Amino acid sequence: MTTRRRRPTTLALAAVLLAGAAGCQATEQAPAQHGSRPAPSSATRGFTLVASGDVLPHSSIIERASYDAGGNGYDFRPMLAAVQPVVSGADLAICHMETVYGADGQYTDQPIFKSPPQIADALAATGYDSCSTASEHTLDDGTDGIRRTLDALDRAGVRHAGSARTPQEATIATLMRAGDANVAHLAYTLGTNGSPPPEQPWAVNLIDPARIVADARAARKAGGDVVVVSLHWGTEWQDAPDEWQLQLSKELTASRTDGRPDIDLILGTHAHVPQAYEKVNGTWVVYGMGDQIAGEMVNSRRVGDTRANESSIGRFTFAPPAHRGGRWEVSKAEFIPQAFDIDAGRVVNLNAALDQGAEVGAVRDRIRDVVLSRGAAQAGLVMGK
């Protein structure tokens, strides 16, 4: 299948990242622009957005990519081939790049990850348009790692949100066209896994509710019809969202400007396992999508845990507002169960692989039960293909 590539637009949001010091007052200032502002949406054509979980290349993943490249570099494209139809079939596709990229073949596994930059090419070939890059591993190789990662994503034509190479870049929201909407993508992380803060505090976005709201409002003023927030949050290996996730989701989705929600979708990563979807204050929240790509892992009890190779893809269809300036509403919400076959080194769309036996069906059903555990079915969430 030929992957279509869209041309995202970026806009500078002056003073938005000053929100940490000035609180929500930063949103009272009109954002300065970088390049031309997208034309206001005519709101006649909706769009479909898909999002997936953590890309976490352990050594076994890197070795598989080397094998798939015939020993000549690294090829991660075959790993993602099974989900390319889902990803490239959407108007807008968002991934989560958990690790930074290394250089000159110096690639490492946990606790300090440095991954081959060829991953960016595979994400682009699969159809991803933007990746959240704010995670607990963003500072694993300092600001050099951030620079290499964002450079590689830029070369591949994949936009990014959550980390920055310069102070100016840190004030830029990623704005992408999907259907007749301008979609803003913002991203934040709960921390940096013990790495000391860089001398450049703007290098990675940390979760701060007031700042997130201020950034979302500024992105709206800059032309964002739909604001999507990626959050690296929660408790690892826990199927259920923790109390912090529940409280933060309520706080963020309750925020409104002139009666319109400031945030239209929340996408969660970090827990390594699939977590529930839930509609909170009228806004869809994915607490955790799980790991899309990861090697064999042990959980917090140091026991091998296959849930680390289970995840979901969220697919949300947005309909144009009934009137100019109104909210783009999710008219259809879906999840697609997937798994990573660590023996074959391939992502598997579980609904497309049910003929492979009862075990596939059992994994699919477990993911379904977790995703629907907080009443999402009653709110309209369905399992897609």
Tokens representing 1 are 């299948």
Helix (H, G, I), strand (E, B) or coil at 215: helix
Most confident of 6-10, 11-15, 266-270: 266-270
What is the reported pLDDT for 195? 79
| 13 has pLDDT over 70 | no
Longest alpha-carbon distance in the chain: 58
What is the reported pLDDT for 11? 52
Question: Residue 133 in contact with residue 149, Cβ under 8 Å?
Answer: yes
The whole-chain average pLDDT of the chain stands at 89
pLDDT, tens digit (0-9, with 9 covering 90-100), for 21-78: 333 333 333 333 333 344 444 558 999 999 999 999 999 999 999 999 998 999 999 9
pLDDT, tens digit (0-9, with 9 covering 90-100), for 174-191: 999 999 999 999 999 999
Question: What pTM value is reported for the model?
Answer: 0.91
Compute the average pLDDT of residues 287-295: 98
Domain ranges of the chain: 9-383
- What is the fold of 9-383? Purple Acid Phosphatase; chain A, domain 2 (3.60.21)
Q: What percent of the chain is predicted at pLDDT more than 70? A: 88
- What is the helix (H) or strand (E) element at residue 371, kind and residue range? helix 358-371
Question: Residue 255 in contact with residue 216, Cβ under 8 Å?
Answer: yes
Compute the average pLDDT of residues 341-361: 90
| 243 has pLDDT over 50 | yes
Compute the average pLDDT of residues 229-258: 98
What is the reported pLDDT for 43? 57
Compute the average pLDDT of residues 275-286: 98
pLDDT, tens digit (0-9, with 9 covering 90-100), for 63-90: 999 999 998 999 999 999 999 999 999 9
Q: How confident is the model at residue 104 (pLDDT cuts 50, 70, 90)?
A: confident
What is the reported pLDDT for 172? 87
pLDDT, tens digit (0-9, with 9 covering 90-100), for 324-335: 889 999 999 999
What is the reported pLDDT for 194? 79
pLDDT, tens digit (0-9, with 9 covering 90-100), for 109-135: 989 999 999 999 999 999 999 999 999
What is the reported pLDDT for 197? 67
